[in-house]
Structure 1
Amino acid sequence: MTTARTLAVPAPAPDAAVKYFGAELGFEVDPDDLVRDLEAGRTDGYAVVETRAPEAFARARIPGAINLPYRDLTPESTAHLDKTLVYVCYCESTQCNAATKGALKLAELGFQVKRLSGGITAWIAAGYPTEGDKAPGIRCAC
């Protein structure tokens, strides 16, 4: 009998799974949790950050998001930010890594960060509201 491909690498022990998945949830938030918080007005303690270029931010963004292009993140460009907040970074999709690059730069600058799973593409696919000129063609633009 051959082992199923799914089980070719054994699942971790429960304590290892708790550590791994607990850490993963510390690094990411999903669109459903974020939209529920935004709709309920629960925005204390975090800011939503679009890490792509300004033209992508102008096209479509999560309501209330601020634009901090990852390429422009420096001690000087972030001096006005509140270090007591958690910055939830997003970009185009899982095929774009601008959110990861932005979260990394912010963390290197001493900010607490999370990443939005799936980016603006997942947000829009779920039917959640956006702001912007809504020009066609959501793209990486980072």
Structure 2
Amino acid sequence: MSPVSAIPAADSAVALAHFSTLLSFETDCADVHAALEERADPVSVDFVLLDVRSPALFARGHVPGAVNLLHGKIVASKLVEYPANTLFVTYCAGPHCNGATRAAIKLAQLGRPVKVMIGGITGWLDEGFQLAIASEA
């Protein structure tokens, strides 16, 4: 018996429920990229892409159309410009960073719909997608 099969797989019905539910919590870089590519204006997509890394990292490169807001700064007053049903998609540096999850928790606590973009910037670059660079002010 291998380490893979040592723990039996879940029943198919349980697996279906689990994996279907998983997609209600997360999206991936390819799906975000496709959504952004479908729209000429990144602001017109049906979600707000939230980069929760530091402003310095954001300035060095971020997903086009993303808004920079540290997870520690997510409060109701910062979200007033967005309708209550706005879907937020959070991301951070990558799989080694839990900032996107922390941001998702804060958004959920505020009653906001939220998903995490798995992979973060690392995943975005691994897919071969380009970053936007913040213009010098």
Please tell me the root mean square deviation across aligned C-alpha atoms, in Å.
Answer: 1.7
Q: Which runs of 5+ in 2 are unaligned?
A: none
Q: Which amino acid aligns with 1:96?
A: C
How many residues end up aligned between the 2 structures? 132
The amino acid of 1:85's aligned partner reads T
1:58 aligns with 2:59: yes
Q: How does 1:79-94 map to 2 (within 5 A)?
A: 79-94=80-95
1:6 to 1, 4, 10: 4
TM-score (norm 2): 0.89
- Alignment-derived partner of residue 127 in structure 2: 126
CA shift, 1:129, in A, is 1.8
- What SS is found at the alignment partner of 1:76? helix
**2:119 counterpart letter in structure 1:** G
Q: Deviations over 1:52-91 (max 9, x none)?
A: 1211111111101111110111122222222221101000
What CA distance in whole angstroms lies between the structure 1 residues aligned with 2:80 and 2:86? Answer: 13
1:1-142 matched pairs, under 5 angstroms: 3-41=1-39, 43-132=44-133
Aligned-pair identity (%)? 33
Query: Secondary structure of the residue that 2:79 maps to in structure 1?
Result: coil
Please give the secondary structure, in 1, of the residue aligned with 2:77. Answer: coil
Taking the aligned partners of 1:60 and 1:125, their CA distance within structure 2 comes to 14
Q: Partner letter of residue 32 of structure 1?
A: A
> Displacement of 1:133 after TM fit?
5.1
